[in-house]
Structure 1
Amino acid sequence: MTGRYLHARTLLVRQPVPPALSVLSCFRATEALRKATATPVAEEMGHMGPHPDLFDKLRVVTADGELDLTTVRAFARDLEDARHGSGPVFLIVDLRAVTFMDGSALGPLCAAREDCCDRLGWVRVVHDRPSTALLFRAAGLLERFPRYASPQDAWQDVPADRAMAQRPA
């Protein structure tokens, strides 16, 4: 299968965090992201928590297309770029637009998680395809990467199974 990976978009958003993790940061995004998606992503995130006056870096990496052996280097580079700098990094990886993913993408995700955890941050993965969930299950990574239904759920740490259980019938 020939891989087709559309370059990920990274967004740094000022979002509320618990006081222990608060650090001043500036809003930064690529020019294309500012023009195309900065406002919709920020609006989708909405109000993010109980501390609206405290902010830190939230980075959202959105991948499109196929993640396989031929495209994983670009994906890994995007994840590394999102983690530049020092201090805690809160990284949401949005895979909802990924049409195919094989195990080669798990290495960069695990490396990103390890780096973020070492820096007192986290990585959370948003996806909605059964094949992606199956890949995480087969690799034994469901506990490290629970499924989140949206970036907002990921920020608020509401995994998809818990969000479904909380919805009224």
Structure 2
Amino acid sequence: MGFRLAAYAVCIEDERILLARCVLPTGGSNWTLPGGKVEQAEDPFDAVIREVVEETGYDAAVERLLGVDSRVIPAAEAWSGAEHQNVGIFYRVRITGGTLRPEVNGSVAESVWTPIPEVARLCRSSLVDVGLALAQTLPATGHVAHVPVGGLIQH
């Protein structure tokens, strides 16, 4: 089984959330949160700031830890074709500077501010729903119910 530790940014301003359109290895694309893999020996706190800069061009500051999501993706649904566990650490971040732009030499084709009510109509990663649920409910445990995938929601 594959394993990935990742850090994700939930950035909400004026009832809009910052989303990144990720080009998938399968050739399609979906919307997700800025963020990604925590490198070996890297602190997840630092990783989320690095990922926001890389994927959006914005500088960011962490406001708070929102929570942690762990999910096992069956081989039939994983992009790699092998069973995979993703552990995501979600942070509330605010933008402190920079200029919005596509990721340089990366998988993010564009990042946009999306009105929260429009998110439900997007083909998106389940990470978006998890991040929004954490930001909107601020559960004391830092855990939200599992987000089922299917339809417009993907792993």
- Give me the TM-score of the superposition, normalised by structure 1: 0.27
- Give me the TM-score of the superposition, normalised by structure 2: 0.29
| Larger RCO, structures 1/2 (Cα 8 Å, 6+ apart) | 2
Greater fraction helix:
1
Greater fraction strand:
2
